[in-house]
Amino acid sequence: MTRPFNPWTPSIEQQVLDRLAAGAEQLDLELSGAQRQQLLIYLKLMSRWNQAYNLTAIKQPMAMAERHLLDSLSIARWIEADELLDAGTGAGLPGIPLAIVFPDKHVRLVDSNGKKIRFVRAAIRELQLEQAEVIQSRLEDLAPDVDLQAVDITCRALASLTQLVEWSQAWLLRGSRLLAMKAELHDSELRAVPDDYNVQLEPLNSVSASGAAQPPRSVAIITCAAPDDANLGA
């Protein structure tokens, strides 16, 4: 029987590690050798599970490194809270790369898809990310803790800004922030966000080894204009 093609040769692994180092420098982000190894292990695990679980359409190792890992890490500079909630995490993006880069932050990885959640749990165990928590749920069904401190809610191409604000309203009213990564963001989508919320739009750095022009990406940072102070955690 023919063995399945394995793209992860030692040479390719080294190229990916080098690309991660160069990409982190472009993002003005410090990555230790151990963190780059963790990211590599995560990519290889995703690649292996992808054969049965259909986690991603991107299969080429260097493309996975750029379009999954480095793209996820492009929002790291805007992370402020001690706790992250990654909504619609899918295969763990951007939550797992952020958990690797911020080992002191509690990271909740949330998705309703059972197959993807099984992969994320396996990845967390393999990577020994003890500060990460995996939750099978929809964001709109997840209620904030009573003693909640403000969290940063991350999401990557999940839904429209209005939909995201509706789903995360209970969190935003408690002082949390929504960081929505978007490939295309039209003025009409920005104008549709209710006036009760502030929207700060920031461009995301594009990292590509080829140097070719990449479609513009941005992060919309959304906060409640008047959070309910009475509901904030002590």
Tens of pLDDT along 108-158?
A: 999 999 999 999 999 999 999 999 999 999 999 998 876 677 899 999 988
Within-domain flag for 129 = yes
Inter-axis angle of helices 114-127 and 33-53, nearest 10 = 150
Instruction: Grade residue 186 by pLDDT with cuts at 50, 70 and 90.
Output: confident
Residue 132 lies in a domain: yes
* 5 located within any domain: no
Question: Which residue range(s) make up the domain with 126?
Answer: 10-231
Residue-wise pLDDT tens digits, 30-39: 999 999 999 9
Q: Mean pLDDT, to the nearest integer, of 28-49?
A: 96
Q: How confident is the model at residue 234 (pLDDT cuts 50, 70, 90)?
A: very low
Overall number of domains in the chain: 1
Q: Is residue 225 part of a domain?
A: yes
The overall average pLDDT reported for the chain is 90
Q: How far apart are CA 171 and CA 185, in angstroms?
A: 23
For residue 72 the two structure tokens come to: 């996820």
Contact between residue 138 and residue 112 where contact means Cβ atoms under 8 Å apart? yes
pLDDT at residue 162 is higher than 80: yes
Instruction: Please report, for the domain that includes residue 77, its CATH number.
Output: 3.40.50.150
- Share of residues in the chain with pLDDT > 90 (%): 79
What is the DSSP track for 77-94? GG--SSEEEEET-TTTTT
Q: Are 92 and 66 in contact (CB under 8 A)?
A: no
* Section 80-87 average pLDDT: 96
For residue 4, being part of any structural domain is answered with no
3-state secondary structure 118-135: HHHHHHHHHHCCCCEEEE
Beta bridge partners of 83: 106
